[in-house]
Amino acid sequence: MSTFPKRLYNQILVGRQGLTSGFLDAGGGDDGTTRVAN
């Protein structure tokens, strides 16, 4: 796990959370991901 880029790992976590919240809120996973990432 130490060789795994932390930034990429964080982006995956953020992306997953964005997908979930976007899906629950408006059904738009990509919108959720972008909103959380930015």
pLDDT at 12: 72
pLDDT at 37: 47
Domain boundaries, the chain: 6-37
Contact of 18 with 33, CB cutoff 8 Å: yes
Model pTM score: 0.30
pLDDT at 18: 62
Phi, psi of 27 (to 5 degrees): 75, 15
pLDDT tens digits, 9-31: 777 777 666 666 555 555 444 55
pLDDT at 5: 80
Report which of residues 4 and 7 the model is more confident about.
Answer: 7
